[in-house]
Amino acid sequence: MLYLILCFILGFFSSLLLSLSSSLPPTHLCRPEQSSALLQFKSNLSLSISNCSQEVHIFSIHKMDSWDEDTDCCKWEGVMCDNRKGNVIGLDLNCSGISGSLQSNSSLFSLQNLRLLNLAGNCFRNSKIPSEFGKLRSLNYLNLSDTALTGFVPHEISLLDHDFNKLVHNLTKLENIVLDRMSLSLVVPYSFLNLTVSLKHLSLAYWLPGSIGNLKHLKTLNLDSCVFIGSIPSALENLTKITFLDISSNMFQGQIRDVFWNLNDLSFMDFSSNNFSGLFPSLAFNLTSLTFMDFSSNFLQGTLPNNISGLSYLRELHLYVNLLNGRVLGRLFSLPSLKYLNLDFNKLNGPIDTIQEANLVQLVDLSKNEIQGTIPSSFFDLMNLTILDLSSNNLSGNIKSCMLVKLKNLRSHNHSFNNLLSLTRCSNDVNSTLPMIIEFHFSSCNMQCFPSFLNASKSLQVLDLSNNQIHGSITKWEAEGWEGLDTLNLSMNFITTAEQILGKHMFILDLRFNSLQGPLPPPPQALQIPSKIFNLSFLFVLDLSTNKLGRTIPYCFGTFSDQLSAVVLGTLNLNGNQLEGSIPPSLKNYHNLEVFYLGNNNINDTFPYWLGTLPHLQVLVLRSNRFHGEMQNFNGTFSFSSLQMIDLSRNGFTGHIPPELFENLKSMKDILVDKSGPNYMGGNYYQDSVIITMKGLDFKLERILTSFTVIDFSSNHFKGSIAKEVGELNSLIVLNFSHNSLAGNILPSLGKMAALESLDLSSNKLQGRIPM
């Protein structure tokens, strides 16, 4: 955030210099000695392509490529001149791919008319900051951020202290200093005392001079993303001209001191992402010039102050992830300039006060609190709302649809996880709608019918009505307006039939845990679930698990009339139904299939070895069916190379377990460590779940780690010995061969499987000791 602000300051200052240099007739070319100085400066450096900022991904541009001795240096990229005398007054080499050392004898320091110098985003590795910067007495703007200039020297020498003091002592015209991400750890406490009149904008990182409170004319102070520990400096209260104050993303702790009483010009304050505790500093609400306030991600307690009417300019208020309690003040929604209000992840217990005069707020997030009671009708007078999130509270009562549709600008709505909250229709809402709505979430509440006001919502993309009390059928009329849907979640309801599901670009369709009955229909019959579901070109997740679907899987499943159709199905979950017959071979056309869950049905078939041609198949669950026969036909064509979970338990397979299967399981051989943290199959919104058997007990994994690996062939009729190839599966976590007729010796190599956490070989005819 501040990086962009400082870029704006630089851009404004550069434009000012450029306008000064171009407003006069070009009577003088660049002075020869200054052109030579620039060329000599270039000759001592090298150019490279690199990412020039740690904060924003911007790649370097070689501005020095245009520097040619045969041309006027005032026309070189990054160079600004005073056309009256031909002096170089500005040098902007930000992100220019420069690397090398910056020595005290550099010709750069002969350019004593410089007013602007920006070397940020270049690499002067292993160079100390030269005291010769102090020769540039006309400097108004200096940016040395991200330059790898170092300043750590032993205390016994203290050369840096002397050099840096000398630098700032001479630069009495400096108004803007940016020294972010520099290792200047030994700056003496009074480094900036000579700049107390001139300095207006200061951006530091990793170090904080004790003289900060003496900069009486300072307007901008950025200390974000440093390593500061302890309480905030009391000297901040002396910065009476400050307008921008950012101390976010540090390790400041304890009670926030009262440093606000004299900061009357402060318009931007960010204290977020620290370890502040104690009571919320109510005096911060007395700063009448504030436009932005952020105390989020701390441990602040107490209630919000009642006296907030003076914040007439406040546009953004972010207090999320704290321990605040009490009521939700209606006065917040009357602040005339407020646009964004974030109070989520607190302990606010409500209720929500009545709003006397609705303001123009656009975003309100009160989610993940403990707010009780009903939502006042005045809340729906916030006509400018585009994002509303009241999810995960204890709200109760009925929301009348005719009240909700007053929010004509609403794009994202979330009332989910309020168990006592319902949405009821009004008698006069037949033609009412939310014309701008894109996401509508009303999961885990007490809804009993489909909201009719969504019928004409042509922009609707995400609809989540899961875990409610919706009964009956999805009719053509109910589904009207769903044409643009890409995500539909109606799981955990009491839906019996689906006459119509529109959405040519449907990506996720989740109908699990309902009462869907009848067959999965082939065309052209008009049955409960329309056949067009199976040919939705962009469908990535289809979950029909835990219903009452019967008969066979239609053989049209996976066939496409259009060769250009995008076969993108990644998850197919038909677990827990009453399906019979065999698996249609046309499923092999789903080349992107990652998860195929067909457990707990009545499928009567042999092992579908041809599924091994699917290059991305990671999870194959066929447990608790009537599969039978020997597992054959394993070769290079049917490799299952990406498989991480295979569950064939509780079937009637016979014969030997083919060793070729284990040879092909490449994803179970190498232990992969994901340093980015835990990732789960299915992505962020929909997450695959599965039941596995460990130590004789069934466990449901609500989410499947992408690193989780399972082989479960238990409760079949396999015979013969355990293939030695099993011992090569170094990343296997769960192995279950129990309740078969396996014989021979237990492989010693099983004890060398580094990732193995659960091994069950019980109820077989195996001999020997289980390796430890």
Q: What is the mean pLDDT of the chain?
A: 83
Q: How does 382-416 read in b/e, with b if 16+ C-beta sit within 10 Å?
A: beebbbbbbbbbbbbeebbbbbbbbbeebbbbbbb
Q: How confident is the model at residue 635 (pLDDT cuts 50, 70, 90)?
A: low
Q: In terms of pLDDT, which residue wins out, 428 or 748? A: 748
Tokens of 611: 């599924």
- The pLDDT value recorded for residue 155 is 32
What is the spatial distance between Cα 533 and Cα 542, in angstroms, rounded to a whole number? 9
User: Residues 609-629: what's their mean pLDDT?
Assistant: 94
The pLDDT of residue 567: 62
What CATH number does the domain located at 27-206 have?
Answer: 3.80.10.10
Is pLDDT above 50 for 32?
Answer: yes
Q: Which amino acid is at 250?
A: N
Say which residues have a Cβ less than 8 Å from residue 32's Cβ, sequence separation at least 6: none
Q: Which residue has the higher pLDDT, 9 or 713?
A: 713
First to last CA, the chain: 55
| Total-model pTM | 0.81
| For range 80-84, the mean pLDDT | 87
User: 724 pLDDT exceeds 70?
Assistant: yes
- In sequence order, the 6+-apart residues with CB closer than 8 A to the CB of 16 are none
Q: Is a pLDDT exceeding 50 seen at residue 213?
A: yes
What are the angstrom distances between the C-alpha of 236 and each of 327, 539, 700? 32, 56, 54
DSSP string, 690-735: EEEEETTEEEEESS-BTT--EEE--SSEEEEPPPGGGGG-TT--EE
pLDDT in tens, 325-363: 999 999 999 999 999 999 999 999 979 999 989 899 999
pLDDT in tens, 537-567: 678 899 999 999 988 887 767 665 444 344 6
Question: Span 678-707, mean pLDDT?
Answer: 79
Q: Read off the pLDDT of each residue in 717-745 and give the average, rounded to a whole number.
A: 94
Q: Where are the domains of the chain?
A: 27-206, 606-767
Q: Which two tokens stand for residue 269?
A: 């304050």
pLDDT tens track for 215-258: 777 888 888 877 778 888 888 888 888 999 999 998 899 999 88
pLDDT score of 621: 96
Asked whether 607 and 579 are in contact (CB, 8 A), the reply is: no
Hey, which CATH number is domain 606-767, 1.10.150.120, 3.40.190.10, 3.80.10.10, 3.10.180.10?
Answer: 3.80.10.10
Does pLDDT of 671 surpass 70?
Answer: no
Instruction: With a cut of 70, say whether residue 33 has pLDDT above it.
Output: yes
Structure tokens at 720: 């013969």
Predicted pLDDT at 523: 37
Assign 140 a pLDDT band (cuts: 50, 70, 90). Answer: confident
Measured CA to CA, the distance from residue 652 to residue 633 in angstroms comes to: 18
> SS3 of 496, please?
strand
Distances in whole angstroms, Cα of residue 679 to Cα of each of 381, 647, 683, 685, 749: 41, 21, 8, 13, 30
